[in-house]
Amino acid sequence: MTRLSVLLPIFNEERELDACLDRVLASPIPHEIIAVDDCSTDATAEILSRRRDGRLKVIRHEQNRGKGGGICTALEYVTGDVCIIQDADTEYDPCDYAKLIEPIKQGRAQVVYGARDLSTQPLIGHLGNKFLTVMTNLLVGTHLSDMETCYKVVPAALMRELNLQSRGFEIEPEISIKLGKRRVKILEVSISYAPRHAKKLRRFRDGFKSLAALFRYRFGD
Ligand SMILES: Nc1nc2c(ncn2[C@@H]2O[C@H](COP(=O)(O)OP(=O)(O)O)[C@@H](O)[C@H]2O)c(=O)[nH]1
Ligand SMILES: [Mg+2]
C-alpha cells in the first residue's frame, strides 16, 4: 500500500491554514502531514498547536529559511513511501491526491505532476510560469506544461537522493531540472486550481531567481 507524506511549508498562513489542514486531513488516502512553520510571526503556530491528530507532525524553524528550506526540513521527517508538496493555502485541492498517486501505484510513472489551468492566473504570472516551463523543457528534454506546480508526487527515496539545496521558491525548478537530468519519467495529470491574490512569491524577483536556478542545476550539480 502506498502511504503519502504531505510536505507542508508554512509562512504566515493564519488566514487559510485551518481550511487547508481540514481539506488535507479529510483525504481518504492514508497520509502523514509534516508541517514546517518557518518562523511565522502571525497566529500560524497557535493554529498548529490547537490541532490534535496523530497524522500531523509539526516542526518549527527558529529562523526563516524559505519555502525550499521548509521542504528540506520536512523531508528529514518523512516516513511514507511517496511525497507531495502542499502549499498551506486553498489554491490546490487535496481531492486531487487520488488521481495523482494512482499512476505511481500502477507503475505507469515514477513521478506525477499536477498540471494547473494557468489561464485563470493573472497574465503576467501565467506568462512567467509558461516561460520557466518552456526553459525547463529545452534544458532537460521534458514535456511539461506546468513545471512550477507544487503538486509534485515523488517517491520519498528519490526525493532524498535529489539532495535539494534551494532555500526559496527556486525549489520547484531545482526538483524539475534534477528529475529531468536523471531521465525520470514524469506524467502530468490535470488538477483544479483556484489562484489567490495575496502571494508571497514576488513575480519578478522570484522569477529571475528561478531562471538562474534552472541554469545552475542544469549545468552544475
Ligand atoms: N517555509 C516557508 N514557506 C513559505 C515561505 N514563503 C512562502 N511559503 C509557503 O510556500 C507556499 C507557497 O506560497 P504562496 O504565497 O502561496 O506562493 P504561490 O506559489 O505563488 O501560490 C505556501 O505554503 C507558503 O506558506 C517561507 O519563507 N518559508
Ligand atoms: Mg499559493
Query: Given ligand 1 and candidates 7, 8, 10, 206, which is best to mutate, with the most ligand atoms within 8 Å of its CB?
Result: 10
Residues 108 and 122: their CA atoms lie apart, in Å, by 34
**What atom of ligand 1 comes closest to residue 12's alpha carbon?**
25
Residue 145's pLDDT is what?
A: 97
Ligand nearest to the backbone CA of 9: 1
Residues 205 and 47: their CA atoms lie apart, in Å, by 30
Residue 221's pLDDT is what?
A: 74
**What atom of ligand 1 comes closest to residue 196's alpha carbon?**
21
- Find cell 521558491 and name the residue: 169
Domains of the chain by range and CATH? 4-219 (3.90.550.10)
Tell me the CA–centroid distance for residue 87 and ligand 2, in Å.
6
**Terminal Cα distance for the chain, rounded:** 33
**Which grid cell sits at 27?**
483525504
Minimum CA distance residue for ligand 1 atom 27: 66
Angle at 104 between CA 4 and CA 178, to 5 degrees: 85
- Residues having CB closer than 6 A to ligand 1 are 9-11, 13, 36, 38, 64, 66-67, 70, 87-89, 91, 199-201
pTM, two decimal places: 0.96
Mean pLDDT by 10 residues, the chain (221 residues): 94 97 97 98 98 97 97 98 97 98 96 94 90 98 98 98 97 98 97 85 88 96 74
**What atom of ligand 1 comes closest to residue 69's alpha carbon?**
1
- Report the SS3 class of residue 187: strand
**What atom of ligand 1 comes closest to residue 70's alpha carbon?**
1
Question: Do 125 and 151 form a contact (C-beta atoms < 8 A)?
Answer: no
- Cβ–Cβ contacts within 10 Å for residue 62, how many? 7
215: amino acid identity, one letter:
F
DSSP assigned state of 131: H
The overall average pLDDT reported for the chain is: 96
Residue 204's pLDDT is what?
A: 85
